[in-house]
Amino acid sequence: MKPNPLVTLPLLALAAAVAIAGCASNGAQTPPANGGAAEGASRSPAQAAAASANAPSAPAGAEGTPSSESSEHPEPETTRIKIIDFSDSIHAGTIRLTEKLGFFEQEGLTLDILSTSGGAQAAPALLNKDVYFAEIAYSHVFKFKQKNQPLIALAQTMDDLGMFVSYGNEWIEKTGIGAGSTLEEKVLALKGARIGVTSVGSLTDETIRYFLKRFGLDPEQDVLITGVGGNHLLTALEAGSVDVSVGFSHFPEYIEYKGVGQTLIRSRDVPELQHITNIVIAANEEWAAEHPNTVRAFLRAISRTFEYMKSNPENALAAAREAWPEVPPEVLEAAVKNRLEVTPDSLAIPEDGARRNLQWLLDAGSLAEPVGVGVTYDNGYLPE
């Protein structure tokens, strides 16, 4: 198949990065196909806990312990999975958590991980089949479906925008706004601000544009929106290169922990932004159809992470500590609490959640015209 003409990523560089990641992982023992731990391999505390009696039960219709589940399902068409993990935060960190808990390994899958700055770069890589899965904003699927491209959402991992707008201390002092200000006052106080987002076209970018337009500000004329990368939402605010950061857990918690600023806008406090299917596991629809057993194995692992974390908040916190050991415990605890509040009960994408996402994209001006929501997701690969 010829490369997609609508995709403009530097594909050779991307492929090289994936290859390098794969070579790096080749030094580790490949897990046996039956999902058991490789001989001599050591388990992390989170993996040991997940494999214990407190681990999630097998999906409906399966029996036995988690380590034996993969033998009860058809063999994946491929066991080496190329993925994008751009999440140095817990916001879209389900893939990272699943890896740390060992559930991919138990399904007989090995990951080749490529890092990138955000979903705006991940979606084209999926379309060109440079990677197979990514946890991205659902908005990217809508945008590419509008261009008749085969990007598909396979599961939801967040049913809220999960966005936070954090104001630097100097901007708070300059504008006089605070926690007691109305939403309108907080947004209008952004006029003239330098606003940091992860990247142009990203969910953080779409979110701030939505708020600006809602209260009559022009995102192109009244503010300066700058892509700083997900890893620099805190440092850009701390350095004074931006006045406001738009981000997701755990960066807002970190900003307040370091005393750099305050989070004054939370999307979950805005009724019309609640219960929106937002973060999804996405893939190339054609690739998924060619590798159905691999897709199902991947989603079984994701499902087991959900069961494990939602069964006990302490499980979620322990897993997060494994995934982000560099984050201060106080920050991580607050971030896990915020993340669990917007974690859905089911991986299945509801039609209403999809429609609410479409509506806010239209309101934000991110889509020129509606897209049929039914072509944007497929729940058929999820565990029964």
Give the CATH number, domain containing residue 216: 3.40.190.10
| pLDDT band at residue 368 using 50, 70 and 90 as cut-offs | confident
pLDDT of 19 reads: 39
Q: Which carries the bigger pLDDT value, residue 281 or residue 12?
A: 281
CB 243 within 8 A of CB 171: yes
For residues 232 and 168, membership in a common domain is answered with yes
For residues 150 and 232, membership in a common domain is answered with no
pLDDT of 250 reads: 83
As a 3-state breakdown, the chain gives helix, strand, coil percent values, each rounded to 5, of: 45, 15, 40
For residues 68 and 138, membership in a common domain is answered with yes
- Domain's final residue, options 274, 304, 339: 274
For residues 370 and 336, membership in a common domain is answered with yes
Token pair recorded at residue 205: 């970018």
Domain-embedded: residue 30: no
| pLDDT band at residue 274 using 50, 70 and 90 as cut-offs | confident
CB 49 within 8 A of CB 304: no
**Section 113-125 average pLDDT:** 74
Amino acid at 6: L
Q: Which carries the bigger pLDDT value, residue 300 or residue 20?
A: 300
For residues 213 and 336, membership in a common domain is answered with no
Strands 244-247 and 164-168: antiparallel
For residues 270 and 283, membership in a common domain is answered with no
Distance CA 93, CA 316 (A): 12
pLDDT of 303 reads: 95
Share the mean pLDDT of the chain.
81
For residues 189 and 267, membership in a common domain is answered with yes
Domain-embedded: residue 195: yes
For residues 234 and 377, membership in a common domain is answered with no
Q: Which carries the bigger pLDDT value, residue 335 or residue 132?
A: 132
Domain-embedded: residue 2: no
**Section 300-313 average pLDDT:** 89
Domain-embedded: residue 43: no
Domain-embedded: residue 28: no
For residues 68 and 147, membership in a common domain is answered with yes
Domain-embedded: residue 21: no
Domain-embedded: residue 14: no
Q: Which residues pair with 265 in a beta bridge?
A: 165
For residues 213 and 122, membership in a common domain is answered with no
- Domain's final residue, options 274, 293, 319: 274
CB 85 within 8 A of CB 114: yes
Per-residue DSSP letter, 299: H
For residues 296 and 149, membership in a common domain is answered with yes
Token pair recorded at residue 286: 């054609």
Q: Which of 85-99, 104-118, 181-195, 319-333 has the lowest mean pLDDT?
A: 85-99
Nearest to 242 by CA among 176, 339, 171: 171
CB 84 within 8 A of CB 116: yes
- The kind and range of the H/E element at 146 are none
Q: Which residues pair with 266 in a beta bridge?
A: 164
Domain-embedded: residue 323: yes
pLDDT of 120 reads: 67
227-246 pLDDT, tens digit each? 988 778 888 999 999 999 99
57-93 pLDDT, tens digit each? 433 333 333 344 445 889 999 999 998 775 567 777 8
143-158 pLDDT, tens digit each? 999 999 999 999 999 9
For residues 184 and 333, membership in a common domain is answered with no
Distance CA 310, CA 253 (A): 21
Distance CA 369, CA 214 (A): 18
**116 has a pLDDT exceeding 80:** no
3-state secondary structure (DSSP) of residue 208: helix
Count of the separate structural domains present in the chain: 2
Cis status, amide bond into 250, omega within 30 of 0: yes
Residues of the chain with pLDDT > 70, as a percent, come to 79
Residues of the chain with pLDDT > 90, as a percent, come to 48
Domain membership of residue 218 as a residue range? 164-274
- Domain's final residue, options 223, 256, 274: 274
Nearest to 46 by CA among 317, 340, 333: 317
Distance CA 89, CA 91 (A): 5
28 alpha-carbon distance from chain centroid? 26
